[in-house]
Each structure stands twice: as C-alpha cells, then as structure tokens.
C-alpha cells in the first residue's frame, strides 16, 4: 500500500521565494512548536487518498487522464499567508493563492473521478493553499498566542505566478527525517 495524494507541483523558484519570505517567522517559531514543510515538499494538494494499492493508483490515473486532458492550462498567483482553522487556534500555516475557475474545475474533476472509483468524497469545500507548517498538537495557549503574533508580524505579498500544465499522483514515504514524495503519474491538461 502506498500513502498517496493528488497535487499540483509548485515551481522551485516560488518554493525558494516562500522560504525566503518566511525565514524570520521560521526563526521565531522553531521546532518542535512548528514542523516546517521542507521547500521541495511544498505543493497544492487536490485530494489526499490515504493508503492505496499500486493497482488502484494506476486505475485512478487511467480514469483521470481523459477528464483532465480536456481541461485547459491556467495560471495561479501565489501570495498571502494565514492559518487553519484561524490565526488564534492555528493548526496549519499556509500560503494562499488566487484560485481561477480552471483550478476549481480540475479539483472537481479529481473529486468526481476519485469518488466514482470508491474513494471517500471530501466533506469540506476545496480551499486551495500551500501548507508550509504544522503546529505541534501539544501547543499551549501561550504557544498559540506566539504563533498568532508571528503571523500578524509577517506580511506576505505576491510571491509569483505559475502556469499549471498538469497534475501529479504522488506517494509519500514517511521517514524519521520527514516525508519523501515520489511522483507516480503525471497527467497533463490540454494545451
């Protein structure tokens, strides 16, 4: 079984800019308070699949291709920062993006195909973001206040624009040093 997800890769230049623009925040909010996502792992998740057999992942890619091959490429603008569920009770730190209607169409196609193949439907609305850090589950009230202050003092503007030409199916190996992502399939959008 492969711990898998469907995502859009973010170009290295934008990943590097994210790291540079959040460097001060990373210095203030260190491990173990925040588990920061390594630069190379910053991506836009379309759907987390959980543990999937290689055969089922192959089937999913096969069924996704005709749907996604009909959808046009599009640009995403990356910028802004926030926290889920909110800055006062932060659990996930994220970088935002302007989500064009084409991104919503891709997310809907992924959800539709995956549910037809037996994957559980996502109950929350699609909220495109780039996870950059996860708050320690044992964070105290003082820790959460420190995170909120750090977020308020960190202003993130426009970080870059990227053209999305396809999506990837990844599997994730959880290692003591952190997760290692491997692309299993790339599915292009229409050009």
User: Degrees (nearest 5) of the Cα angle 181, 42, 13?
Assistant: 115
Which two structure tokens, joined as six digits, stand for 181?
Answer: 């992502």
Helix (H, G, I), strand (E, B) or coil at 81: strand
| CA 161 – CA 3 distance, rounded (Å) | 29
Count other Cβ atoms within 10 Å, centred on residue 115: 13
H helices of 69-119, in order, are 101-116
The question of whether 158 is a catalytic residue gets the answer no
The question of whether 43 is a catalytic residue gets the answer yes
Helix (H, G, I), strand (E, B) or coil at 155: coil
DSSP structure class, residue 117: T
| CA 74 – CA 185 distance, rounded (Å) | 20
Q: Which of 62, 63, 129, 171 is catalytic?
A: 129
Active site members: 43, 129
């Amino acid at each position: 079984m492969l711990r898998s997800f469907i995502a859009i890769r973010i170009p290295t230049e934008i990943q590097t800019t994210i790291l540079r623009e959040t460097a001060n925040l990373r210095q203030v909010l260190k491990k173990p308070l925040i588990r920061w996502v390594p630069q190379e792992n910053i991506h836009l998740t379309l759907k987390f699949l959980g543990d999937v057999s290689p055969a089922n992942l192959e089937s999913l890619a096969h069924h996704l291709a005709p749907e996604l091959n009909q959808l046009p490429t599009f640009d995403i603008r990356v910028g802004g920062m926030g926290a889920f569920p909110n800055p006062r009770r932060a659990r996930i730190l994220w970088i935002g993006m302007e989500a064009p209607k084409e991104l919503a169409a891709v997310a809907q196609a992924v959800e539709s195909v995956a549910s037809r193949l037996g994957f559980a439907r996502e109950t929350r609305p699609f909220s495109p973001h780039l996870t950059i850090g996860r708050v320690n589950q044992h964070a105290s009230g003082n820790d959460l206040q420190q995170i909120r202050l750090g977020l308020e003092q960190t202003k993130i503007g426009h970080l870059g624009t990227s053209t999305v030409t396809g999506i990837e199916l990844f599997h994730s190996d959880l290692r003591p040093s952190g997760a290692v992502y491997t692309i299993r399939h790339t599915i292009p959008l229409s050009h």
